[in-house]
Amino acid sequence: MLVLFETSVGYAIFKVLNEKKLQEVDSLWKEFETPEKANKIVKLKHFEKFQDTAEALAAFTALMEGKINKQLKKVLKKIVKEAHEPLAVADAKLGGVIKEKLNLSCIHSPVVNELMRGIRSQMDGLIPGVEPREMAAMCLGLAHSLSRYRLKFSADKVDTMIVQAISLLDDLDKELNNYIMRCREWYGWHFPELGKIISDNLTYCKCLQKVGDRKNYASAQLSELLPEEVEAEVKAAAEISMGTEVSEEDICNILHLCTQVIEISEYRTQLYEYLQNRMMAIAPNVTVMVGELVGARLIAHAGSLLNLAKHAASTVQILGAEKALFRALKSRRDTPKYGLIYHASLVGQTSPKHKGKISRMLAAKTVLAIRYDAFGEDSSSAMGVENRAKLEARLRAIEDRGIRKISGTGKALAKAEKYEHKR
Amino acid sequence: MRVVTVEPHRHEGVFIYRGMEDALVTLNMVPGQSVYGERRVTVNEGGAKVEYRTWNPFRSKLAAAILGGVDQIHIKPKCKVLYLGAASGTTVSHVSDIIGPDGLVYAVEFSHRAGRDLVNVAKSRTNIIPVLEDARHPLKYRMLVGMVDVIFADVAQPDQSRILALNAHTFLRNGGHFLISIKANCIDSTASAEAVFASEVRKLQQENLKPQEQLTLEPYERDHAVVVGVYRPIRSSSKSRSSK
Do residue A350 and residue A211 come from a single domain? no
Do residue B48 and residue B88 come from a single domain? no
**A42 within 8 A of A15, measured Cβ to Cβ:** yes
Confidence of residue B238 (pLDDT cuts 50, 70, 90): very low
Q: Is A406 a member of any domain?
A: no
Do residue B208 and residue B171 come from a single domain? yes
Tell me, what's the pLDDT at A402?
59
The minimum CA-CA distance between A399 and chain B, rounded to whole Å, is 45
Last residue of a domain, one of A116, A135, A151: A151
Do residue B35 and residue B100 come from a single domain? no
Decide the pairing of beta strands B148-153 and B80-84: parallel
What is the domain extent for residue A111? 2-151
What secondary structure does DSSP assign to A176-208, as a single string?
HHHHHHHHHHHHHTT-HHHHHH---HHHHHHHH
Number of domains in chain A: 3
Q: How many residues does chain A have?
A: 423
Q: Which amino acid is at A10?
A: G
Helices A132-150 and A53-65 pack at an angle, to 10 degrees, of 60
Do residue A59 and residue A137 come from a single domain? yes
Planar angle of CA A130, A133, A138, nearest 5 degrees = 80
Do residue B98 and residue B23 come from a single domain? no
Q: Is A96 a member of any domain?
A: yes
- Residue closest to A80 by CA, chosen among A60, A62, A106: A106
Give the residue with greater pLDDT, B29 vs A82. B29
Do residue A131 and residue A238 come from a single domain? no
CA B185 from centroid of its chain's CA atoms: 21
Q: Is A309 a member of any domain?
A: yes
**A80 within 8 A of A107, measured Cβ to Cβ:** no
Rounded distance between C-alpha atoms, residue A286 and residue A283, angstroms: 6
Tell me if B119 and A117 make a contact (CB, 8 A cut-off). Answer: no
Do residue A259 and residue A315 come from a single domain? no
**A85 within 8 A of A177, measured Cβ to Cβ:** no
pLDDT tens profile A136-187:
888 899 999 988 888 877 666 788 899 999 999 999 999 999 999 999 999 8
Decide if pLDDT at B243 tops 50.
no
Q: Is B237 a member of any domain?
A: no
User: Exposure of B14 by Cβ count < 10 A (0-12 exposed, 13-18 middle, 19+ buried)?
Assistant: buried
Tell me, what's the pLDDT at B32?
92
- Name the H helices within A283-381: 284-290, 292-302, 305-309, 313-317, 322-330, 345-348, 355-375
ipTM: 0.87
Last residue of a domain, one of B55, B71, B88: B55
For chains A and B, CB pairs below 8 A equal 69
Do residue A93 and residue A218 come from a single domain? no
| DSSP letter assigned to residue A337 | S
Give percent of chain A above pLDDT 90: 37
Helices A160-188 and A201-211 pack at an angle, to 10 degrees, of 60
Q: Is B240 a member of any domain?
A: no
Decide if pLDDT at B240 tops 50.
no
Interface test with B, best of A27, A94, A117 (most B CBs within 10 A): A117
Tell me, what's the pLDDT at B152?
96
Number of domains in chain B: 2
Do residue A132 and residue A189 come from a single domain? no
CATH code of the domain in which B18 resides = 3.30.200.20
Least confident of A337-346, A364-373, A408-417: A408-417
Q: Is A104 a member of any domain?
A: yes
A7 touching B (Cβ < 8 Å):
yes
Residues forming a β-bridge with A136:
none
Q: Is A413 a member of any domain?
A: no
Do residue B66 and residue B166 come from a single domain? yes
pLDDT tens profile B61-73:
999 999 999 999 9
Average the pLDDT over B103-107 and give the result. Answer: 95
pLDDT tens profile A72-109:
888 888 876 777 788 888 888 888 888 888 888 888 88
Last residue of a domain, one of A120, A151, A182: A151
Do residue B11 and residue B106 come from a single domain? no
Give percent of chain B above pLDDT 70: 95
Decide if pLDDT at A341 tops 50.
yes
A323: three-class secondary structure by DSSP: helix
B-chain residues near A88 (CB < 8 A): none
Do residue B51 and residue B63 come from a single domain? no
CATH code of the domain in which B190 resides = 3.40.50.150
Do residue A43 and residue A146 come from a single domain? yes
Q: φ and ψ at A11, to 5 degrees?
A: -90, 135
* Cα R_g (chain B), whole angstroms: 18
What lies within 8 Å, CB to CB, of A63 at 6+ separation is A6, A91, A94, B140, B142, B143
Last residue of a domain, one of A133, A151, A169: A151
Residues forming a β-bridge with B108:
B84, B131
Quote the mean pLDDT of chain A. 86
Average the pLDDT over B136-141 and give the result. Answer: 92
A50 touching B (Cβ < 8 Å):
no
Q: Is B51 a member of any domain?
A: yes
- Name the H helices within A226-283: 228-239, 248-282
Do residue B172 and residue B196 come from a single domain? yes
* Cα R_g (chain A), whole angstroms: 37
Planar angle of CA A399, A402, A405, nearest 5 degrees = 105
Last residue of a domain, one of B21, B40, B55: B55
Q: Is B241 a member of any domain?
A: no
The per-residue b/e assignment along A334-353, b for 16 or more CB within 10 angstroms, e otherwise, is eebbbbbbbebebbeebeee
Do residue A289 and residue A372 come from a single domain? yes
Tell me if B115 and A150 make a contact (CB, 8 A cut-off). Answer: yes
pLDDT tens profile B174-226:
999 999 999 999 999 999 999 999 999 999 999 999 999 999 999 999 999 99
B22: three-class secondary structure by DSSP: strand
Decide if pLDDT at B242 tops 50.
no
Last residue of a domain, one of B55, B74, B89: B55
Q: Is B196 a member of any domain?
A: yes
Tell me if B169 and A113 make a contact (CB, 8 A cut-off). Answer: yes
A64 touching B (Cβ < 8 Å):
yes
Tell me, what's the pLDDT at A416?
53
Residues forming a β-bridge with B82:
B106, B151
Rounded distance between C-alpha atoms, residue A180 and residue B159, angstroms: 70
Q: Is A355 a member of any domain?
A: yes
Do residue A175 and residue A117 come from a single domain? no
Q: How far is CA A43 from CA A72, A82, A144, B171, B198, in A?
A: 19, 17, 31, 21, 44
Q: How far is CA A77 from CA A47, A73, A84, A85, in A?
A: 14, 6, 11, 12
CATH code of the domain in which A289 resides = 1.10.246.90
What is the model's pTM? 0.72
Q: How far separated are the first and last CA of chain A, in Å rounded?
A: 106
Confidence of residue B241 (pLDDT cuts 50, 70, 90): very low
Do residue B84 and residue B98 come from a single domain? yes
Do residue A142 and residue A174 come from a single domain? no
Q: Is B236 a member of any domain?
A: no
Give percent of chain A above pLDDT 70: 94
CATH code of the domain in which A64 resides = 3.30.420.220
Decide if pLDDT at A413 tops 70.
no
**A21 within 8 A of A32, measured Cβ to Cβ:** no
Do residue B147 and residue B210 come from a single domain? yes
B16 touching A (Cβ < 8 Å):
no
Do residue B71 and residue B167 come from a single domain? yes
What secondary structure does DSSP assign to B100-147, as a single string?
-TTSEEEEE---HHHHHHHHHHHHH-TTEEEE-S-TT-GGGGTTT---
Rounded distance between C-alpha atoms, residue A317 and residue A342, angstroms: 9
Tell me if B146 and A123 make a contact (CB, 8 A cut-off). Answer: yes
Do residue A70 and residue A89 come from a single domain? yes
- Residue closest to A76 by CA, chosen among A11, A10, A8: A11
Interface test with A, best of B102, B108, B139 (most A CBs within 10 A): B139
Rounded distance between C-alpha atoms, residue B220 and residue B57, angstroms: 7
Rounded distance between C-alpha atoms, residue A92 and residue A98, angstroms: 10
Rounded distance between C-alpha atoms, residue A236 and residue A224, angstroms: 18
Tell me, what's the pLDDT at A331?
95
Q: Is B243 a member of any domain?
A: no
B-chain residues near A26 (CB < 8 A): none
Q: Is A408 a member of any domain?
A: no
Q: Is A49 a member of any domain?
A: yes
Confidence of residue A241 (pLDDT cuts 50, 70, 90): confident
What is the domain extent for residue B15? 5-55
Decide if pLDDT at B60 tops 70.
yes
B57: three-class secondary structure by DSSP: coil
Quote the mean pLDDT of chain B. 91
Confidence of residue B244 (pLDDT cuts 50, 70, 90): very low
Do residue A375 and residue A312 come from a single domain? yes
Tell me if B129 and A143 make a contact (CB, 8 A cut-off). Answer: yes
Rounded distance between C-alpha atoms, residue A154 and residue B17, angstroms: 42
Q: φ and ψ at A65, to 5 degrees?
A: -85, -5
CATH code of the domain in which A263 resides = 1.10.287.4070
The minimum CA-CA distance between A117 and chain B, rounded to whole Å, is 6
Cα nearest neighbour of B175 on chain A: A29
- Residue closest to B203 by CA, chosen among B168, B157, B160: B160
Confidence of residue B74 (pLDDT cuts 50, 70, 90): very high
Rounded distance between C-alpha atoms, residue A171 and residue A101, angstroms: 62
Tell me, what's the pLDDT at B173?
92
Rounded distance between C-alpha atoms, residue A234 and residue A10, angstroms: 74
Confidence of residue A415 (pLDDT cuts 50, 70, 90): low
Helices A355-375 and A382-400 pack at an angle, to 10 degrees, of 170
Tell me if B139 and A143 make a contact (CB, 8 A cut-off). Answer: no
Do residue B42 and residue B88 come from a single domain? no
